[in-house]
A and B are shown apart, each in its own frame.
Chain A
Amino acid sequence: MAIVETRKLTKVFKQGQPGAVNHVDLETREGEFLVFLGPSGSGKTTLLRMIAGLETPTSGEILIGGNVVNHLPPRERRIAMVFQSYALYPHLTVYQNIVFPLKAQKVKKELHKQKVEWASALLGIGRLLDRKPRELSGGERQRVALARAIVREPSVFLLDEPLSNLDAKLRASAREELEQFQKRVGTTTIYVTHDQVEAMAMGDRVVVLNQGTVRQIGTPQEVYDQPADTFVATFLGSPPMNLLETDDLIVGFRPERFLPSGLVAGSGSTDEIASRMKTEHLLLADVGKRVPLRFRVEYIEYLGAERILYGALEGGRFPGKAVASRIPSGVTERYEANSVHDFIVPESELKFFDRASEKRVAPKAIPWQ
């Protein structure tokens, strides 16, 4: 177990060009599952590779367990890494793959078999030990890569998009398994992904990166509900947060908080609302002050569990502004293209950003008409 820390960590690949990673300061907690989340090119993989020792930092420090490891080769950092491609040794059997780190780290020979069996049992791949990687399915390969990483009990796990090569269904189950597995072994884990669902589902905390800088570090709830800036606000959530620009402010609200006014408590009797919904747990709470907006629906995406309405505001202060609304399937109201509806946003759900810096600022009252 160890804490990983970076101090002003910077990587510039080509001199004169913007850095891939710029002055990143972060610190994991003991046994934490920390997720690096960002779009491609955000520097998350480069950051991970610097921690692993596969990339030399241009400046700054990396500490593992309190010691500066900048000058240490990967093998002396007591880390294990799972690559996006899994990087299994294709000419070796699963057993030989898993035992490789033990041999390389000069673990006593008597312990090899026992440790490989322990790791393979932990991941449920005991019956695959004699196979070659090419005879395995994607999910099995991913487990072998994990077993190879866990077998020597590293102090830190580094995972580089390990689920991105799996199909959607397998990815969901592998995600849950991986999370449980990490909780069981309790090893500090850094996980790189561009998939916000993965990040939200698995991370104890999420580091949101863009263009090589940290935009926000926080729990999944914090980064979702309290985004530090407009990048975080729009990168998380699908569809992204609706943003409306006004004077020196940007006002944002999540599509799932932008709802038909008739379906929010306070706009009619509870019975009346309940009768318009199949399920009752959705929007009944009194949300306090509300901002009414006229919404012209332009097209509708039906996603089963919900509907996404895309359209534009009508009249008011932001005529023609494109916004989206997420309506749970419990709402049976019909919406058609080119119809105009009364929607509301609870005032407590509004986020305010400074227009110049794009950073979040304290709520302000703005005129909506």
Chain B
Amino acid sequence: MAMTNRKLGVLMFSPAIIYVLAVVGVPFVLAFVYAVGDVKIASVGYHYVGLANFRSVLESPTFRRSLYDSIIFTVGTQVVVLVGSTVLSLALKDRFTGRGFIRFLILLPWVAPVSLGTIGWKWILDSIYSVINWVLVHLHFVRPFDTPMWLGEPTLAMISVIGVESWRLLPFSTVILLAGLTAIPRDIPEAAAVDGAGFWRTLFQITIPMILPIVNVAILFGVIFVFTDMTVVYILTRGGPYDTTQVLPSLAFFTGILGSDLAEGAAISIFLVPILVAVAYFMLRVASRAEVG
């Protein structure tokens, strides 16, 4: 009987294990194997080359630029999302007419397929057909034929990809923070009001410290999400202009798949590992602390 139960357990559990191994484990191991080899698309055989790929990657200015861009992209998005979702969740916490509809609107970017949403943004930011520029021209903020090149100028392009990535991440973060805010008993802000605290004091000394564990979860999820995402960059700028919006995942893709240098692509993507491991470690710590507290 015990044996049958064990077998049944293994049987029921195995699809999950197989799935994780096949989709995450095997590619992960392969990435390490490729990174220390000389594999190219269509090449035959495998030669161990040690850390040669890493050396070559580290010497490449494009890689360094991408690492820098990745950090700017991730941190920039987190800042925008954090401020935005705090404001939104505070605004959406209390009951008002139309709250349900506004919550629905804010959730839309999350449920829309990311590629479709981003293609929409590509048009919004287009050099010729941009609606933003059309509005700016008609409000006489900029002159026609001298409109901002949203995706063609390095700083603007970075702002654009951060903006679109934030648009995408905002609903997720807002929902997490809303959950945190709802968990604060009503008495607490009321006690603060009676104690004499105004809006800002209540926000910074009571509300935000109380939802800090939840904010941490939102940040850590956000970092992992943004740091590994290449869809927005790939669709909007393809890393351009001059690799000024190139991030590590897109660089790995361009080098490894489009550039057919699998080994170097693998080496690039492995640079993501220590950073993500650190983030995951902190995430688990925060999660376990939140449980105890």
Contact = CB atoms under 8 A, between A and B. Distances in A.
A87 B190 contact: yes
Interface residues of A, number: 26
Nearest to B293: A134
Interface stretch (A78-86, A243-251, A278-286, A317-325): A78-86
Contacts of A74: 190, 193-194
Interface of B: 185, 187-188, 190-198, 201, 205-206, 209-210, 212, 293
A38 B92 CA distance: 35
B195 A148 contact: yes
Interface stretch (A98-106, A121-129, A213-221): A98-106
A83 B191 contact: yes
Per DSSP, are chain B's interface residues mostly helix, strand or loop, or mixed? Answer: helix
A107 to B, nearest CB: 9
B242 to A, nearest CB: 47
Nearest to A81: B194
Nearest to A151: B195
Nearest to A100: B195
A101 B195 contact: yes
Contacts of B293: 134
Interface string A83-100: 111011111100000001
A75 B187 contact: no
A52 interface: yes
A108 B105 CA distance: 47
Contacts of A75: 193-198
A130 to B, nearest CB: 17
A166 interface: no
A68 interface: no
A54 B195 contact: no
B187 A87 contact: yes
B195 A104 contact: yes
Q: 3 smallest A-B Cβ distances: which pairs?
A: A104-B196, A87-B187, A87-B191
Contacts of A52: 194
Contact of B191 (A81, A103, A134): A81
Contacts of B185: 85, 87
B188 A89 contact: yes
Contact of B187 (A53, A83, A92): A83
A54 B205 CA distance: 20
A73 B193 contact: yes
Given A91-B209, A91-B210, A101 B196 contact: yes
Given A91-B209, A104-B201, A85 B187 contact: yes
B290 to A, nearest CB: 13
8 contacts: A75-B197, A80-B195, A81-B190, A85-B185, A89-B206, A101-B195, A104-B195, A148-B195
Given A74-B194, A75-B197, 12 more contacts: A52-B194, A75-B193, A75-B198, A80-B194, A81-B191, A85-B185, A89-B191, A89-B210, A92-B209, A100-B205, A101-B196, A104-B195
A52 B196 CA distance: 12
Nearest to A83: B187
Nearest to A104: B196
Contacts of A84: 187
Contacts of B195: 75, 80, 100-101, 104-105, 148
A73 B193 CA distance: 8
B167 to A, nearest CB: 32
A100 B188 CA distance: 12
A87 B188 contact: yes
Given A89-B206, A91-B209, A83 B190 contact: yes
A200 B75 CA distance: 62
Contacts of B201: 103-104
Contacts of A87: 185, 187-188, 190-191
